[in-house]
Amino acid sequence: MTDKNYPATGTLAPPAAQDVVIVNVRPYGEGDPVDILIRDGVIAEIGSVDTSGAHVIDAQGNVLLPGLVDIHVHLREPGREDTETIATGSQAAAKGGFTAVFTMANTLPVMDQPVIAESVWMKGQAYGLCDVHPIGSITLGLEGKQLTEFGMMARSEAKVRMFSDDGKCVNDPQIMRRAVEYAKGFDVLLAQHSEDMRMTEGAVAHEGPTASRLGLRGWPRVAEESIVARDAIMSRDYGGRIHLCHASTEGSIDLIRLAKERGAQVTAEVTPHHLALTDEMLESYDGRYRVNPPLREKRDADALKQALLDGVIDCVATDHAPHGSEEKCVEFDHAKPGMLGLETSLSVIAKIFVESGLADWRFVAKVMSEKPAEIVRLPGHGRPIEVGEPANLTIVDPDSPWTVRGEDMASKAENTPYEGIEYKAKVTHTILRGRVTCADGEACVPETHQ
């Protein structure tokens, strides 16, 4: 069922007690519709299924995907529960089609101790809408000076398998080198926020003609690319697995391609917003468009799309970054960087790749479920839709037009850059180990929390 080489995850929320049958669904949007019987959290039958006694979901010929996996979100708990919590973030994830998310370490306090990671993991399991995996920080307090105890976090109940100082770059090359060597010993992944911080002091926008015209301090491409190059060389020479968070420039793609050709163990993600939006959005000076790394130019967005199609960039990750309206509805220079992503990503990716004819639903399954699960070596998710596999599944209606409204989000925050935009594809149901966590487009809030 799962790859035995992958470490087991800590105690999981139990599967659903009742059988579920999805009738009239098209796995990967291919072929004739089938029925799927889910029993004890596992896909038990595919074909024409007896529905008696089961909870029936009529999928009306819609698309079935493996449950989506997001390896880069910020759920803000502990510390900023006013902007998001494990509970609201889990609802947003379920509504967006996700069955597993990895939440970043830039919490308050920072996720640099096993006990903090364990509390996040257990809260996610107790809530039960999505597997919420904590990401440990690489350095204590995100201060870039002293490494955290990777081994203790990896062996904790949270089974931390990924470490990142995201929000900040591990700038000091000697600390990064030690982190790479240390990570290799525990076979954990390092996810780097590539930003030479000396080059981005005071920067709020992509360095280019738009920022010059608007009088905004620029964030040059080289600030990202110089770290990508350095880290790729470290991976080549010291052997640890390094993942590039939110690749945003054409040049980063060239470097990742070269590094992969030379056998470095590097992987990369791209966010929906770096694919869909450019720095021209900044003309409005609307704080919603402030994000790190910044929105770039069309040629970067085009290159990122091609790189995802070619497999040079491995996967999509949302970098879901909720902020309060008092932090976003302010002068552009003062707006906090970050955008919501969990509830819009499937629709945005479907529009860019499927509705345009560039790719099919199998591609979406690959870049939003299979690859991210593989990168973090996560058992039970991103698996093929086959008998015997865990029933982590997402149903998508490819033609159900809806309009994005921040106030309608399950997320506590409203900072979506897609406000008022209409999308065609919509997640209708999400299923986690046989339990329905999103039905008819709404997250299924557990009865104990209503």
Burial label, 310 (beta-carbon count in 10 A; 0-12, 13-18, 19+): exposed
166 part of the interface to Zn ion, by CB under 5 A: yes
Instruction: Identify what 337 binds: Zn ion, ligand DOR, none; CB under 5 to 8 Å per kind.
Output: ligand DOR
Query: Among residue numbers 163 through 202, which ones bind ligand DOR (CB under 6 A)?
Result: 166-167, 193
Minimum distance of Zn ion from residue 11's CB (angstroms): 27
Beta carbon of residue 304, minimum distance to ligand DOR (angstroms, whole number): 16
338 is a contact residue toward ligand DOR (CB under 6 A): yes
Would the annotation count 246 as a binding residue?
yes
Residue 249 binds which entry of ligand DOR, Zn ion, none, CB below 5-8 Å type-dependent: none
Q: Is 35 annotated as a binding residue?
A: no
Residues 92-131 within binding reach of ligand DOR (CB under 6 A): 106
- Residue of minimal Cβ distance to ligand DOR: 338
Residue 292 contact partner, candidates Zn ion, ligand DOR, none, CB within 5 to 8 A by sort of partner? ligand DOR
Question: Could you tell me how many residues of this chain bind ligand DOR (CB under 6 A)?
Answer: 10
Tell me: does residue 84 bind Zn ion (CB under 5 A).
no
Q: How far is the CB of 349 from Zn ion (least distance, A)?
A: 18
The distance of closest approach from Cβ of residue 20 to Zn ion in the complex, given in angstroms and rounded to an integer, is: 34
Per CB under 5 A, contacts with Zn ion among 303-322 are 319
Residue 250 touches which of ligand DOR, Zn ion, none (Cβ within 5-8 Å per kind): none
Q: Which is nearer to ligand DOR, 97 or 294 (CB)?
A: 294
Residue 106 binds which of ligand DOR, Zn ion, none (CB < 5-8 A, kind-dependent): ligand DOR
User: Which sequence positions are flagged as catalytic?
Assistant: 319
Interacting residues toward Zn ion by CB under 5 A: 166, 319
Q: Residues annotated as binding site for Zn(2+)?
A: 72, 74, 166, 193, 246, 319
Interacting residues toward ligand DOR by CB under 6 A: 74, 106, 166-167, 193, 291-292, 321, 337-338
